[in-house]
Amino acid sequence: MAKVRILPDRVANQIAAGEVIERPAAVVKELVENSLDAGATRIEVEFRHGGRSLMRVEDNGCGLSRDDALLALERHATSKIAEAADLDRLASYGFRGEALPSIASVARFELQTREAAGDVGTEILVNGGKFIHVRDCGRPVGTRIEVTHLFNSVPARRKFLKTDQTEAAHIVQCVRLYALACPRTAFTLIEDGRVVFRSPECSTLAERIAEIFGRQTAAELVPLEAMETGMRLSGLIGRPGVGRGTRHEMIVFVNARPVDSRTLNYALIESYHESLPKGRYPLAFVFFECDPAAVDVNVHPAKREVRFRSETAVRGFVIRAVLERLREIGSAEAGNRKLASDVTVTLSVGKAAAPFAPVLPAPDLSHAQPERRVLDNMPRPRSAAPAPIENRESKNENPDWRFVGLAHGNYALFETAAGLVLLDRRAAHERVWFERLQEQFRAGAVPCQRLLLPLPLELDPIASVLLFDRLAFLNAHGFEVAEFGRNFFRVEAVPAWMEPADAEPFLRDLLGALRDGRLQGKDPDVAREELARLAAAKAVRLRETGGEAELSALVGQLFATRHPLTSPGGRPTYIELNHGELARRFQK
């Protein structure tokens, strides 16, 4: 039996690195936190190849002396806490003293630093846990850390890294979180020599959000401020009805620390239950503050998970605060609409209405001729059923159904020889549109319509990179999107099945699917299928009423598809109750 022995420091550091340094973004996170704890007002982050080959973080913080710099590379050496009781009054981002030795043990680590009281700086080079040199250097007050060849001493860990694009997205997301947490600190982020974003010192959170996420996003937000005993909630939240297809823009901070809190996230989602449709997520940048002793940040090595002493109290406070703010906004908007209505009535029936010419109704353009180049393949208006799908490899038999009526606007009831059929109009339309769009994408003949006035589209840096890399793909499928500046694009044409007003939310949802990995660009066929699935859901617009001819035509088009039984999302398009089931239900 092997004897018990103490592991060498180098091995212990590499084991600790497995918990602390999960990916390149974790390195950037730890270094940025150290810069903020050092009081930096300017931080510059640079990385290359997703952080594999280079990560550099430079700040103008207080810096370190030579002795402190050497001591900082020892395990559990920190200036943040001195005893266990300090964990209940944490005012810093870091406190464990594991980050620097862990990073230095699995990469080539170069540290340059100088404090204000020193005449010269200190340079320390460590490669895979081995000290190479310690010498003087010239540099301004502050610290510069350069990490290269990450996981060079543990090559097995490199195999678990994702693509450069994925790792880069995590780094960008990490830096912008801390940029939001500290708007009074100037941040610069550089990827492969290209500036992703440069945000100067901002006096307010709204200015920082506009710098990073775009002014279109900032314009959709309203301030939030609420307090209860021992708790405070502040920040910016989206107006009622403003949502996103993913949770990437629902960001929460606890005592200025960006966290992943199920308690706060679900409280926000529940607060918007009546303000957003199912499947949409609120737009929110909220800061929750409480007594440090009431929250435990020492739950996970990455410190992104926190645990509240009273989860129920926190959840209830957040729901009450957000709901009250949303109701205030709703009441104010309702009052504005009423005021506008009163003004309109006054102008219409009052004595002052005589000098005004009558308002003529807008011309009906439903029968206007479309452009010649898109006429042949132009789909029918959304309120009508899509055009029949042709060139099928095999056609399903059109069933003999007799239309009975509509139920709740979305369900069509048919009588058949075997019993009754209840058809989901939306699911049926989505199936027909899905297969029609698939054929158009496959043939490369997507009808489109140019816009008289291009639509502006301002995105955050991650979404901008994703969109820029897929402009050729989108432009080959009915869109015409052009880059028009840093994180700014113009939509000059949209597919014929899309209303121009739907272009921006559709593209944002599409980018959300890309970030979630639901829309992969490696396989063009898979990408086209997912694009057709998203497009089919947007293309369907149901009228409140539908006639027998329209619904009978829809049934014929549905059974001309390859898979008439389900929608593109897997929901059934219709259900059938045969005579036996009806007899059983009525106990005959």
Report which DSSP code applies to 275: T
For the ranges 12-16, 40-44, 316-320, 509-513, which has the lowest average pLDDT? Answer: 12-16
pLDDT in tens, 331-355: 776 666 655 555 554 444 444 433 3
Contact 12, 75 (CB under 8 A): yes
Query: What is the average pLDDT score of the chain?
Result: 80
For residue 334, the model assigns a pLDDT of: 64
For residue 18, the model assigns a pLDDT of: 54
* Burial zone of 220 (CB within 10 Å; 0-12 exposed, 13-18 middle, 19+ buried): middle
Q: What percent of the chain has pLDDT over 90?
A: 26
For residue 43, the model assigns a pLDDT of: 96
Burial letters 233-260, b for 16+ CB under 10 A, else e: bbbbbbbbebbbbbbbbbbbbbbebbbe
pLDDT in tens, 367-410: 333 333 333 343 443 434 444 444 444 445 567 888 888 887 78
User: What domains are defined for the chain?
Assistant: 9-82+93-201 (3.30.565.10), 220-328 (3.30.230.10), 380-576 (3.30.1370.100)
The predicted model scores a pTM of 0.69
Half-sphere exposure of 169 (CA within 13 A, CB side): 19
Task: Locate 540 and state its tokens.
Answer: 């369907």
- Quickly list DSSP for 412-480: EEEE-SSEEEEEEHHHHHHHHHHHHHHHHHHHT---EEEEEEEEEEE--HHHHHHHHHTHHHHHTTT-E
Q: Does 585 or 356 have the greater pLDDT score?
A: 585
- Going from the C-alpha of 194 to that of each of 47, 144, 178, 190, the distances in angstroms are 10, 19, 20, 5
pLDDT in tens, 195-235: 888 888 888 899 988 888 878 888 889 999 999 988 999 99
Q: Tell me how far the alpha carbon of residue 233 is from its chain's centroid.
A: 22
| Order of strands across the sheet that contains 250-254 | 221-228, 231-238, 284-290, 250-254, 257-259
- Going from the C-alpha of 488 to that of each of 178, 223, 471, the distances in angstroms are 23, 25, 13
What integer is the mean pLDDT of 160-170? Answer: 83
Is residue 424 predicted with pLDDT exceeding 70? yes
Half-sphere exposure of 402 (CA within 13 A, CB side): 5
For residue 338, the model assigns a pLDDT of: 59
pLDDT in tens, 434-455: 888 888 888 877 888 888 888 9
What integer is the mean pLDDT of 495-513? Answer: 84
Is residue 276 predicted with pLDDT exceeding 80? yes
Strand, coil or helix: 551: helix
Is residue 73 predicted with pLDDT exceeding 80? yes
Q: Does 332 or 19 have the greater pLDDT score?
A: 332
pLDDT in tens, 236-250: 999 988 888 788 889
- Going from the C-alpha of 465 to that of each of 11, 232, 488, the distances in angstroms are 39, 36, 11
pLDDT in tens, 44-57: 999 999 999 999 99
- Quickly list DSSP for 304-362: ---EES-HHHHHHHHHHHHHHHHHHHHHHHHHHHHHHHHHHHHHHHSGGGTTSPPPPPP
